[in-house]
Chains A and B, each alone.
Chain A
């Protein structure tokens, strides 16, 4: 009984803190603002063409990332490839760098090599950059699922047929939820992305929404247009639900999850692929950034350091707390989704909304004298992060939970172990890799978040991505690149720290 009250209050808190502001804003668009009808008229054929273009972009990027993510995840998590632990970490790097900055690096690279940047300042360029940025996300999600497959399911296949067939016909179908999650997440991210298309001069739906803001300050119209994004995303999720509803899934074996690693017959090709990917997605931008950073000597690098050092502590603190709460919320929602078959579309709505609009909803909702204690401190930023990224966390954890047979939990129930003990001692240890993956992703996204943060950050505070982008407004390239290098190095250090701690925790168990 007590447990239920706690559960209910947690759900209520989630709804109140995260969902209500958004719903409140949407309602005020329809019922509060008199210009609603005028705004409807502004939705012309052009808008819908742009929407179609955005959908095409998102679909292409999501397909590529899922494809490459699968290959890379298989190599990293299922084979005895050299240095796999190091590679798992290093290949995450593009996630730490803001897509916009990567776009700048690639444009400069093309300029250096080809003398002009026409090839990349195009639809193709946007796809390239977004694919490189989001593939690490796919690798994490798919890799996490691959690690959870019962080895006997693979082995019974290996007795009968070749390794390749086992992968195609058994392993991949069994991780379909992860493949689909990865696709949907990247699809939504690409759909809402605007800084990269804007930089390459490619018009898409989000650049349209954005210019409504910038130029017209027409909030209502922008929100209305965002509704389209939400509707598309929710439909995707519903399709995902329907398609997956018939499958029943895996068992974690009685001997625990021993993850089989297989030796590659032809390591040369695989290693080559990994190296090429590493070069294109990590080494190249890094080198370009490096060249740019030190093009006028080291003064700007030290200046960048000076500018950024005051931001490290607060950024880390915010991202860390944010990530923990995000994992917690994700777990609650995922648990609920799996048990009662309700959907997590509620979190999806917030995820699908462009950051700026979500920021505005939070302002409108929380900027009341009575709620000042939330609004004028760091809490509001954390609420922003939690709202924005909980969906991802819930998805990752949900996939892991689905892979646990009910019997494990029921066995504990029969043995009269309390609910909280069951969760703590049985459920959580079994999904620890997923919890950790979810934490890392949430941390990375939170520490680099710009759109919401800039709308909400308390005056006078110093936060890393804000600092980079405000200084970037009028700074020499070398300063900007130096700042980027520093931001990414610091993030990398923090993440490595987490991996290290995680290894220790695993060993202790």
Chain B
């Protein structure tokens, strides 16, 4: 069952056509990986789904609701029940870890906020960092805070844009296992963007290989590994 549908999406940035008549569906409760080089449009797809960009043509449907129609945003980003982990994390430097995470909850009762934030901090094992500021954290800790923040409102969909880009191998493994865990614990659909096929193979239920705004191949890990597609084979060599 598709929870996200992109229908005939065309999106250009300046004079560059990033996507043209692009169609794609994502299944619910899956961890789908968008794999490809820089500039292939994978980040753009995430941003379109989040509502941070509006396509010139096409519709986006989330959970059977039209969220974006040709040229118009029908439902604004904060109402789409989506979590987003940005490539640069986007942590707010003037808030502590606690406040970074609590910020999305501010319209709820103080008691509830405390409970929810503590839960999430515990889940990621960063309770001790609650009072620190982002610049006082290590790379891995920052990453976890960013992910925690995106989950605190219990969204249906989690979008992750190259979340492991700046981490060492050990940390990557640790966080990848967290991500796998998240899917189970939170019953959530995850879209994961990366250019590293090893990451993709480690956690994905489904992989979509993109090249210059076109889908080269889609399938599960085995199917991709054994794909005949020239681009995919070339891509996997590195």
Within 8 A of B (CB), among A226-266: 247-251, 253-254
Within 8 A of B (CB), among A457-493: none
Q: Contact at B88–A251, with CB atoms within 8 Å?
A: yes
- The number of residue pairs between A and B whose CB atoms lie closer than 8 Å in the complex comes to 67
Q: Contact at B50–A170, with CB atoms within 8 Å?
A: no
Within 8 A of B (CB), among A139-189: 150, 152-153, 155-163, 165, 169-170, 173-174
Q: Contact at B103–A169, with CB atoms within 8 Å?
A: yes
Known A155-B84, A248-B133; judge A161-B106 contact (CB<8 A).
yes
> B174 on the interface (CB 8 Å rule)?
no
Q: Contact at A158–B52, with CB atoms within 8 Å?
A: yes
Q: Contact at B78–A150, with CB atoms within 8 Å?
A: no
How far, in whole Å, are A424 and B134 apart by their CA atoms in the complex? 30
Chain A residues in 8 Å Cβ range of B76: 158, 162-163
Q: Contact at B103–A161, with CB atoms within 8 Å?
A: yes
Q: Contact at B88–A162, with CB atoms within 8 Å?
A: no
- A260 closest partner in B (C-beta): B52
Known A173-B94, A247-B94, A250-B93; judge A159-B88 contact (CB<8 A).
no
Q: Contact at A159–B135, with CB atoms within 8 Å?
A: no
How far, in whole Å, are A420 and B89 apart by their CA atoms in the complex? 32
> B92 on the interface (CB 8 Å rule)?
yes
Q: Contact at A254–B153, with CB atoms within 8 Å?
A: no
The dominant DSSP class at the A interface is: helix
Q: Contact at B88–A150, with CB atoms within 8 Å?
A: yes
How far, in whole Å, are A479 and B103 apart by their CA atoms in the complex? 60
Known A248-B93, A249-B93; judge A161-B104 contact (CB<8 A).
yes
> B86 on the interface (CB 8 Å rule)?
yes
Question: A159, A169, A173, A251 — which one has the most chain B CB atoms within 10 A of its CB?
Answer: A159
Q: Contact at B90–A156, with CB atoms within 8 Å?
A: yes
Q: Contact at B90–A152, with CB atoms within 8 Å?
A: yes
A337 to chain B, nearest CB (A): 20
How far, in whole Å, are A152 and B84 apart by their CA atoms in the complex? 10
| 18 chain-A/chain-B pairs, Cβ below 8 angstroms | A150-B90, A152-B87, A152-B89, A153-B90, A155-B90, A156-B86, A156-B90, A156-B91, A156-B92, A157-B92, A157-B103, A158-B52, A161-B106, A162-B76, A174-B94, A248-B133, A251-B93, A254-B88
Query: Residues of B at under 8 Å CB distance from A?
Result: 50, 52, 76-78, 82-84, 86-94, 103-104, 106, 133, 135, 149-150, 153
